C-alpha cells in the first residue's frame, strides 16, 4: 500500500507540473459556475432554472450537471495515465519496478480521483458559501452531494482508466471513455422508452439515479454506495488484469 | 490474429457479464439493503413522524389488498409501480407487524378484477411501445385498506403523494365514527346546477370523501333551530345578512365548545358582473355577525385589503374596439397584477401555529381584513395570515379596478398617502368565549310577520356562556375555496387551487384535532428565497413600489434614480457571482505556482 502512495505522489507531481491540470480545473470551474448561475439544466422532462431565475438557495442545479460534465472532465484527466506511458515507452520500464500491478493501478486511480474531486470541491464549496450568503441553504444536502460526487468521480475514474489502458493514443482513450460515461448518463433518458423488464435494469445501471435522486438531495441510500463502489472496484480490477497481461507479454 | 480476436471477444463478454452482475447486485441491494436516511432539512424523502404516529395507533391488524397489474409493459410505469411497492413495504416495516399486504393482479384474475371494480379501482390506459407500434395497456394500481370492520379505498396509488394518501386513509380507519361536519351558509344541494361563480362543489366533494357532511340550513337556524351538538366541526361559508337568531345559534354552538371555520365575503355578486371586472351587480352585504365578532375580539372590516407588495396575477377581459371606438364582441384575456387579489407567500403565515407553520402560499380575492382588538378574557387571538406592511383599506365597488392603469393609479394614490399597514386576513380564536346575547336570546324570525333588519324581541330561553373551550378560525375571504369559473374564464378569478386547499385541509385538521395529518401534509420543500439586490437597492433609495411622482420632472428624476439603483444592484450581483469563481481560480493558480516554483528551486 505504501508503494501505491509513491505512485500517487509521482502522478500528482506529473499532473501539477503541466499546465493541463490547471487549465482543466479552471475551465471546469468557470463552466460549472456559468451553467449554475445562468443556464440552469434545460435537459430532460423537468428542466431546472439557473440560480437567479429559480430564486432558490439550492445547489441542485450544480449537482445535476455533474454526471454529464464529469463524463468529459474525468476522461481528460485519465486519458494520459496509461496511454501516455505506452506512447512514451516508459511503460516497460514502469513494469520492471518492484511494484505489483494493483499498486500501480491504485496509485494512479487515487491520483486522478483526487484531482477531479478537488475540482468538484473547488467549484462546490465557494458556490455553496455564496448561495448560503444569499439565502437559507441546506448544508446537509451540500455535504451529502459532495459525498455522492466522490462516489461518482471514483466510478467514472476507474472506468475511464480502463479506456486509457486499452490504447496508446490519448485522444482515442478520451473518446472511448467519454463515450462509455456519456452512455451511462444517457441510460436514465432511455428508461421512458424501454420495456418494463429493461427499465429496472437501466435505472439500476444509471449513475444519475444513484446520485441525483438521492445524494444530491441529501439522502443516503446504501444501494448507491454498493453501485459506486462496485463500478470502481470493477474498473480497477479490469485495469489490473489489463496491466497484468501486458506485464506477461 | 485469430487468437487475439477471440481474446477480445472473451474480454468483452466478461465485461458485460461483470456489468450485469454488478447491476443485479445493485438491484438486490435496493431490495434487501433498504437503508435510507434523509439528512436534508426538508425531510421530503423520509416517512414523517406524523405517519409513524398514525401507524403506531393501530391496535389490530391493518390488511392492505393491493390491486396491481403485475406485467406492466411500459418502462416508466414499471418504475412507478416499483416505487409504490417499495413505499408500501416501508410503511409495512414501520407498522411493526400490524400491517399485512397482499398483491392481486386484476388483469389475470377475473375475481380480482371484479373485486377491484366493486371498490371503484379502475385500470388506467398506459401507453406502451411494442415492435415500434404504440399500444395502450390497462394498468391497475389501487389498494383497499381494511381495519376492523371498516374499509378505505385508494383508487390510484401515486408514488409522490402515497404517504399523505395512505396516512389519511389509516387515520379515517382509526376513527370509530366518521367525523361529522356541518355545512352552513351557502346551500349544499347544488347537484344539478351549472358551474358558475360562487359555488363550492369541489370543496364539498373533497370534504365528503373524508367526513359526513351535514347541511345546517341558515333558514332553519333563523326559524329557531339550534346547530346539532353532535357535529365535530362547523363550516360556515359566506354568511350574509344573517338574522340575529341564526347568529345566536352559532354563538351557542361555540359557547358549548364547538369548532368552527367561517369564511366571509361581504359582497353580494352577480356571477358574471364580478367575473368580468365590471362593477355591475356587486353590492356590499353585511354578514349579520358583526356584533358577535366584536364580542369575540375579532371585528371584521367591510372594506377590502389592497396589498401593493403582493399583487396576484389574474386576467381581465379586454374587448376590442371598432373604428368608432365602441366595444366589439371580440376580446381577449389580459393578465393584470391586482393588489385586491393578493398572492400571499410563506412569509405571510404565522409560523408558530401548526396549521400554517409550513404553508407556502394562498391567494385571496377581495379579502376583508380584521381590525386589531383585545379579545375577551379567556380567549386567545392569533392572527395567522397577514398582508404585507404596504397594504391599505379600500372600499368596494367604485374603486374596483379592471385595467392596469386604474390599478396603478390607485396604488400610487395609496402609496402617496403613506398609511400602509400589515392587515390580518385570517384569525384563530381559542378559549372560552363571551356571548353578546347576555340580555336574552333573540326571537326566531318569522318571514310572514317580521321584517329583516327590524327590531328583534328577546325570549326567555337560557343563554349558555363559556361552557367549554372552543376553537374558531375566521378568514376574511371565501373566494379562495370556490370552484373555478368554467373553461377559458377560469384565470379571471382565483379559486380553490392546490395550495389554497392544502391550507384549508390543515385548518380543518387542526379544528378536528388531527395534527398528525398536518405534519404529514406539510411535506413541501421549504421556500428558500435568495436576496433580491434590485429590491434592496430600490428600497434603500425609497423607490420600491409604483410611481408616485406627479410632474414630468419628478418622473424623470425618479427614473434616473431607479436606473442608478438597478445598476448598483447589477454590480452587486456580479460581484457576488464572481468572487467564488475568482477565489477558486486564484487558489489553484497561486498554490500551483508556489508548488512549481518550489519544485524547480529544489531541482
DSSP of A88-138, one letter per residue? HTHHHHHHHSS--HHHHHHHHHHHHHHHHHHHHHHHHHHHHHHHHHHS---
DSSP per residue over B391-408, as a string? Answer: EEEE-SGGG---SHHHHH
The partner residue sitting opposite A223, judged by closest CB among B18, B30, B75, is B30
Q: Which residue of B has its CA nearest to A139?
A: B40
Instruction: Please report the pLDDT score of residue B567 as a whole number.
Output: 93
Instruction: Please report the pLDDT score of residue B419 as a whole number.
Output: 83
Mutate to test the interface with B, among A180, A223, A242 (most CBs of B within 10 A): A223
Mean pLDDT value across residues A90-102: 82
> What range does the domain containing A26 cover?
2-248
**Is the minimum CB–CB distance between A51 and chain B shorter than 8 Å?**
yes
pLDDT tens figures, B368-383: 999 999 999 999 999 9
Per the CB < 8 Å rule, is A37 touching B577? yes
Instruction: Please report the pLDDT score of residue B353 as a whole number.
Output: 85
Q: In the numeric block, which cell numbers belong to residue B581?
A: 469563481
The partner residue sitting opposite A29, judged by closest CB among B36, B526, B585, is B585
Å between B306 CA and nearest CA of chain A = 26
CA distances from A13 to A78, A103, B303 (A): 15, 17, 76
The partner residue sitting opposite B26, judged by closest CB among A140, A196, A226, is A226
Instruction: Please report the pLDDT score of residue A134 as a whole number.
Output: 92
Q: Which residue of A has its CA nearest to B570?
A: A52
Cβ neighbour number for residue B435 with a 10 Å cutoff: 20
Q: How many domains does chain A have?
A: 1
Q: Which has more confidence, B603 or A86? A: A86
**Is the minimum CB–CB distance between A88 and chain B shorter than 8 Å?**
no
**Which position has the grid cell 424501454?**
A194
Residues of A in contact with B531 (CB under 8 A): 133-135
Instruction: Please report the pLDDT score of residue B195 as a whole number.
Output: 46
Instruction: Please report the pLDDT score of residue A181 as a whole number.
Output: 93
Residues of A in contact with B73 (CB under 8 A): 195-196
Å between A86 CA and nearest CA of chain B = 19
Instruction: Please report the pLDDT score of residue B75 as a whole number.
Output: 81
Q: In the numeric block, which cell numbers belong to residue B460?
A: 326567555
Instruction: Please report the pLDDT score of residue A75 as a whole number.
Output: 95
* CA nearest neighbour of B536 among B566, B563, B557: B566
Angle B49-56/B162-174 helices, nearest 10 degrees?
Answer: 30
Mean pLDDT value across residues A190-199: 79
Per the CB < 8 Å rule, is A144 touching B74? no
Per the CB < 8 Å rule, is B74 touching A196? yes
Helices (H), B267-308: 271-275, 290-296
* CA nearest neighbour of A36 among A62, A67, A72, A69: A62
Per the CB < 8 Å rule, is A126 touching B580? yes
Per the CB < 8 Å rule, is A55 touching B44? no
Q: Can you tell me the distance from the alpha carbon of A164 to that of A85, in angstroms, rounded to the nearest whole number?
A: 10
pLDDT tens figures, A106-165: 999 999 999 999 999 999 999 999 999 999 999 999 999 999 999 999 999 999 999 998
Q: What is residue B306's three-state secondary structure? A: strand
Q: Can you tell me the distance from the alpha carbon of B443 to that of B457, in angstroms, rounded to the nearest whole number?
A: 6
Q: Which residue of A has its CA nearest to B592?
A: A16
Instruction: Please report the pLDDT score of residue B549 as a whole number.
Output: 67
Residues of B in contact with A126 (CB under 8 A): 579-581, 583-584
Q: Which residue of A has its CA nearest to B73?
A: A196
The partner residue sitting opposite B599, judged by closest CB among A17, A135, A202, is A17
A130 Cβ neighbours under 8 A, 6+ residues apart:
B576, B577, B579, B580
Q: Can you tell me the distance from the alpha carbon of B529 to that of B523, in angstroms, rounded to the nearest whole number?
A: 18
Mean pLDDT value across residues A158-179: 92
Q: Which residue of B has its CA nearest to A197?
A: B75
Handedness of CA B391, B397, B403, B406 (dihedral sign): negative
Work out how many CB contacts closer than 8 A connect A with B. 170
Q: At the topology level of CATH, where does B41-164 sit?
A: Glutaredoxin (3.40.30)
Strand partners, B99: B62
Query: In terms of CATH architecture, what is B178-301+350-389+421-482+496-521?
Result: 3-Layer(aba) Sandwich (3.40)
Q: Can you tell me the distance from the alpha carbon of B393 to that of A220, in angstroms, rounded to the nearest whole number?
A: 51
What is the ipTM metric for this complex? 0.82
Mean pLDDT value across residues A231-243: 91
Instruction: Please report the pLDDT score of residue B327 as a whole number.
Output: 64
Low-confidence spans in chain B with pLDDT less than 50: 191-195, 270-280, 397-399
Instruction: Please report the pLDDT score of residue B522 as a whole number.
Output: 59
Helices (H), A18-88: 19-34, 51-54, 60-88
Residue spans of the domains in chain B: they are: 41-164, 178-301+350-389+421-482+496-521, 534-602
Residues 179 to 218 of A: which have CB under 8 A from any B CB?
191-205, 210, 214, 217-218
Cβ-contact B339, B407 below 8 angstroms: yes
Amino acid at each position: 500500500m505504501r508503494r501505491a502512495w509513491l505512485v500517487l505522489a509521482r502522478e500528482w507531481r506529473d499532473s501539477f507540473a503541466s499546465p493541463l491540470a490547471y487549465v482543466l480545473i479552471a475551465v471546469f470551474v468557470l463552466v460549472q459556475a456559468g451553467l449554475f448561475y445562468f443556464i440552469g439544466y434545460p435537459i430532460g422532462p423537468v428542466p431546472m432554472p439557473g440560480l437567479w431565475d429559480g430564486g432558490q438557495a439550492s445547489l441542485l442545479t450544480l449537482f445535476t450537471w455533474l454526471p454529464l460534465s464529469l463524463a468529459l472532465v474525468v476522461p481528460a484527466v485519465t486519458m494520459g495515465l496509461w496511454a501516455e506511458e505506452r506512447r512514451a515507452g516508459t511503460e516497460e520500464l514502469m513494469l520492471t519496478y518492484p511494484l505489483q500491478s494493483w499498486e500501480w493501478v491504485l496509485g494512479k486511480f487515487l491520483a486522478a480521483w483526487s484531482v477531479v474531486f478537488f475540482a468538484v470541491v473547488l467549484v462546490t464549496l465557494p458556490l455553496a458559501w455564496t448561495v448560503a450568503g444569499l439565502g437559507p441553504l441546506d448544508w446537509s444536502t451540500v455535504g451529502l452531494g459532495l459525498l455522492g460526487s466522490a462516489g461518482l468521480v471514483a466510478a467514472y475514474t476507474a472506468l475511464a482508466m480502463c479506456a486509457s489502458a486499452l490504447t496508446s493514443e490519448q485522444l482515442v482513450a478520451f473518446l472511448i471513455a467519454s463515450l462509455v460515461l456519456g452512455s451511462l448518463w444517457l441510460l436514465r433518458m432511455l428508461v421512458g422508452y424501454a420495456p418494463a423488464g429493461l427499465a429496472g435494469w437501466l435505472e439500476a445501471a444509471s449513475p444519475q439515479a444513484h446520485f441525483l435522486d438521492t445524494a444530491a438531495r441529501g439522502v443516503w441510500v446504501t444501494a448507491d454506495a454498493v453501485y459506486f463502489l462496485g463500478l470502481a472496484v470493477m474498473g480497477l480490477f479490469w485495469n489490473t488484469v489489463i496491466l497484468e497481461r501486458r506485464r506477461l507479454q | 490474429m485469430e487468437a487475439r480476436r477471440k481474446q477480445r471477444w472473451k474480454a468483452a463478454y466478461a465485461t458485460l457479464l461483470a456489468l450485469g452482475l454488478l447491476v443485479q447486485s445493485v438491484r438486490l441491494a435496493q431490495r434487501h439493503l433498504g437503508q435510507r436516511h434523509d439528512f436534508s432539512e426538508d425531510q421530503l424523502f423520509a416517512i414523517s413522524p406524523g405517519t409513524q404516529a398514525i401507524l403506531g395507533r393501530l391496535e389490530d391488524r391493518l390488511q392492505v389488498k393491493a390491486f396491481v397489474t403485475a406485467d406492466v409493459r411500459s418502462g416508466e410505469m414499471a418504475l412507478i409501480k416499483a416505487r409504490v411497492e417499495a413505499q408500501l413495504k416501508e410503511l409495512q416495516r414501520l407498522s411493526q407487524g400490524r400491517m399485512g399486504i397482499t398483491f392481486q393482479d386484476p388483469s389475470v384474475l377475473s375475481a380480482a378484477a371484479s373485486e377491484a371494480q366493486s371498490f371503484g379501482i379502475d385500470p388506467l390506459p398506459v401507453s406502451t411501445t411494442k415492435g415500434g407500434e404504440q399500444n395502450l395497456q390497462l394498468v391497475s394500481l389501487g389498494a383497499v385498506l381494511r381495519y376492523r370492520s371498516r374499509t378505505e379505498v385508494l383508487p390510484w396509488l401515486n408514488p409522490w403523494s402515497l404517504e399523505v394518501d395512505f396516512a389519511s386513509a389509516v387515520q379515517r380507519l382509526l376513527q370509530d365514527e366518521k367525523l361529522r361536519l356541518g355545512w352552513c351558509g351557502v346551500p349544499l344541494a347544488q347537484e344539478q346546477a351549472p358551474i358558475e361563480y360562487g359555488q363550492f362543489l369541489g370543496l364539498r366533494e373533497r370534504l365528503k370523501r373524508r367526513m359526513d357532511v351535514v347541511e345546517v340550513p341558515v333558514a332553519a337556524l333563523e326559524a329557531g333551530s339550534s346547530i346539532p351538538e353532535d357535529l365535530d366541526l362547523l363550516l360556515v361559508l359566506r354568511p350574509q345578512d344573517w338574522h340575529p337568531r341564526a347568529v345566536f345559534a352559532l354563538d351557542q354552538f361555540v359557547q358549548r365548545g364547538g369548532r368552527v371555520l367561517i369564511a366571509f365575503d361581504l359582497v353580494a355578486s352577480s356571477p358574471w358582473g364580478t367575473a368580468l371586472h365590471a362593477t355591475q351587480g356587486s353590492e356590499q352585504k353585511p354578514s349579520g355577525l358583526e356584533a358577535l365578532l366584536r364580542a369575540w375580539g375579532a371585528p371584521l372590516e367591510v372594506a377590502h385589503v389592497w396589498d401593493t407588495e403582493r399583487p396576484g396575477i389574474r386576467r381581465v377581459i379586454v374587448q376590442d374596439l371598432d373604428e368608432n371606438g365602441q366595444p366589439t364582441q371580440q376580446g381577449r384575456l389580459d393578465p393584470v397584477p391586482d393588489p385586491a387579489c393578493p398572492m400571499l407567500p410563506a412569509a405571510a403565515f404565522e409560523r408558530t401555529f401548526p396549521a400554517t407553520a409550513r404553508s407556502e402560499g394562498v391567494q385571496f380575492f377581495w379579502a376583508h381584513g380584521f381590525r386589531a382588538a383585545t379579545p375577551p378574557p379567556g380567549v386567545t387571538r392569533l392572527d395567522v395570515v397577514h398582508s404585507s406592511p404596504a397594504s391599505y383599506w379600500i372600499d368596494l365597488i367604485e374603486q374596483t379596478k379592471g385595467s392596469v392603469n386604474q390599478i396603478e393609479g390607485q396604488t400610487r394614490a395609496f402609496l402617496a398617502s403613506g398609511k400602509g399597514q400589515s392587515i390580518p386576513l385570517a384569525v384563530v380564536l381559542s378559549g372560552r368565549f363571551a356571548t353578546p346575547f347576555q340580555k336574552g336570546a333573540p326571537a326566531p324570525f318569522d318571514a310572514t310577520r317580521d321584517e329583516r333588519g327590524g327590531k328583534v324581541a328577546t325570549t326567555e330561553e337560557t343563554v349558555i356562556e363559556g361552557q367549554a373551550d372552543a376553537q374558531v378560525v375566521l378568514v376574511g375571504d371565501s373566494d379562495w375555496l370556490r370552484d373555478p369559473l368554467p373553461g377559458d374564464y377560469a384565470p379571471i378569478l382565483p379559486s380553490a387551487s392546490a395550495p389554497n386547499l392544502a391550507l384549508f385541509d390543515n385548518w380543518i385538521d387542526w379544528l378536528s384535532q388531527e395534527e398528525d395529518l398536518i405534519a404529514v401534509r406539510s411535506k413541501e420543500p421549504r421556500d428558500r428565497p435568495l436576496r433580491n439586490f434590485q429590491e434592496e437597492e430600490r428600497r434603500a433609495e425609497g423607490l420600491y413600489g409604483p410611481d408616485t411622482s406627479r410632474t414630468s420632472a419628478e418622473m424623470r428624476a425618479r427614473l434616473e434614480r431607479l436606473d442608478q439603483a438597478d445598476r448598483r444592484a447589477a454590480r452587486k450581483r456580479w460581484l457576488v457571482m464572481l468572487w467564488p469563481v475568482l477565489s477558486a481560480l486564484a487558489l489553484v493558480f497561486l498554490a500551483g505556482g508556489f508548488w512549481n516554483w518550489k519544485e524547480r528551486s529544489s531541482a
